[in-house]
Chain A
């Protein structure tokens, strides 16, 4: 009897809970959650934000790098200019007054050399050895272009001194070079200069000989430093003559474009906006960036492929997709006169399909079948689109320019869920900021 009663409560629940009715009605957000699971077993919000965070950090890092360089570099060059400026007076004086060691000493005294001090401290023989070593290295014909300072042989001298000269330099000398004090810098530079492969100016060598003589004559101390300056001069000019430094530019672009499947017969107008970075070396440029694009299109169902078999095939598919386009393009400048530049470019784009909304149009209204299909962050086409473009750029000033770029995007793979051959063509308009320009802005 009791069993029966208990059975009845089971029946009550079993029957009463058999049909949930509206209580279990479908909710789109549940599907979104499952889709996220299917995409990679992670919560959806985390999935999207992680992708976008990676992208933003990458772009930010690139920008920081370029801007950081832009601000750091002028400082650097001005430093070297200053250094060059500092040297110039010495050079001028030296070139004019090689024969006058007294005047040279005056100049050198102002250049705060501690090397001189150490010389006076040191024993005479050692001091001579050191000085003759430096001085003789500049004697014409005896320079070993790429040789190390320790292997310089000087037959010009008396045998006794020559032998001394070929011995490795005094350890103290190394100390001076390694000290790294401001006062010691010229000597450190001197060591570097000896590696210079460019033969020194004969006039300077003449001066060097004279200095050497003055060393022999006992007027020691600081002549060697003037030789340093003399040798440095040609090196400086060589350094600035060759400049293959890359240029960097950042552009903001926006463009309307037309999108069509398998051609441009039935097109829809989309919009694009983004940020581009361009690096140029001589006539070549490499550019990348991020462009957010809205790409609507209409396609006949025949051009649309799907694994899902429709009971009745739709006639037309209307799509509205938002795409993150990451291009990587190369360009070649074919014309550059006055302020006008013209270049041609090509490259590959990666499409990240952020959102794809499809609407299916059936032959007759009321045909059973899905009416819409929406997906998010499902499809990526890495280097799946070929870019062709031509760019006309006009400089406003050395820093800013305007650009117009007609372009075409041809897919190498099927784009989106429907794997359509989605072509885009448009004209981008942009403003360019030269972060680092090849020419030094005045």
Chain B
């Protein structure tokens, strides 16, 4: 989308024109969905968060500084919407105890050839707290201090959750190597199952409590 076209759409949206809103939504849907999918349990949840994000975009569009890139502004709103969603679902969250006995080879993961679907499937299987922190740190590039502030947790909790997230992902990658293609099959229709049936030692605890320690 050209800069002039974008400006036209933005000015249309500022007048609450529904057609402009729809075209802007359509233009940035893929980009925004890419962010929301990473934070969400599944596509349905991602759509919900995405719409909450776009709702904020349309309601706060006058705050957007047209000198700055729109995509970055929109992306930040989507991340914030995902965090808001995470916060609203904090009450009962699932944390998983790591199987300490399992030995994981510290391979070099950077050149692993895993598809988008496989990676998304793995990340969506992470407990929500781990997933959020992993996303913020590893993909969005926030520091632990920033994350601590955003999620209202201590830097230590952020660090330890990131570590646990990484360990979980490593286990999943190792499993996928043992049974190649199993994730791809599972996520064949783009809808990631909510049931995490391949995580055997799942225990329920209040994540708020563990965080406040």
Contacts and interface: CB of A to CB of B under 8 A. Distances in A.
Q: Do A and B come from one complex?
A: yes
Interface string A1-34: 0100110111111111111110111110011011
Contacts of A16: 114-116, 119
Contacts of B5: 311
Contacts of A14: 138-139
A282 to B, nearest CB: 48
Contact of A30 (B11, B16, B50): B50
B123 A26 contact: no
A439 interface: no
A251 B30 CA distance: 52
Interface stretch (A60-68, A142-150, A302-310): A302-310
A308 B34 contact: no
B20 A307 contact: yes
Given A307-B12, A308-B20, A17 B106 contact: no
A10 B169 CA distance: 10
Contacts of A34: 25, 51, 54-55
Interface string A393-416: 000000000000000000000000
A47 B107 CA distance: 54
Interface string B151-187: 0000000000000001001100100000000000000
A10 B138 CA distance: 5
A5 B138 CA distance: 13
B132 to A, nearest CB: 14
Given A30-B47, A308-B23, A370-B23, A10 B137 contact: yes
Contacts of A27: 47
Interface residues of B, number: 52
Contacts of B31: 24
B29 interface: yes
A37 B57 CA distance: 13
A426 B109 CA distance: 73
B37 A37 contact: no
Contacts, number: 125
Interface residues of A, number: 39
B51 A12 contact: no
Contacts of A24: 29-34, 37
A31 B26 contact: yes
B22 interface: yes
B72 interface: no
A417 B114 contact: no
A373 interface: yes
Interface of A: 2, 5-6, 8-21, 23-27, 30-31, 33-35, 37-38, 306-309, 311, 370, 373, 375, 378, 417
Q: Which 3 A-B pairs have the closest CB atoms?
A: A307-B17, A24-B33, A10-B138
B19 interface: yes
B110 interface: yes
A367 to B, nearest CB: 14
A14 B109 CA distance: 12
A14 B112 CA distance: 13
Contact of A417 (B18, B23, B109, B119): B18
Contacts of A13: 119, 123, 134, 138-139, 169
B41 interface: no
Interface string B26-62: 1001111110011000000001001100110010000
B34 A309 contact: no
| Residue among B19, B134, B170 with most chain A CB within 10 A | B19
B120 interface: yes
Contacts of B16: 307
A307 B15 contact: yes
A357 B123 CA distance: 41
Contact of A20 (B18, B37, B55, B58): B37
B50 A8 contact: no
B120 A23 contact: yes
Given A12-B112, A14-B139, A370-B23, A33 B51 contact: yes
Interface in B111-126: 112, 114-117, 119-120, 123
Given A6-B166, A309-B8, A417-B19, A12 B119 contact: yes
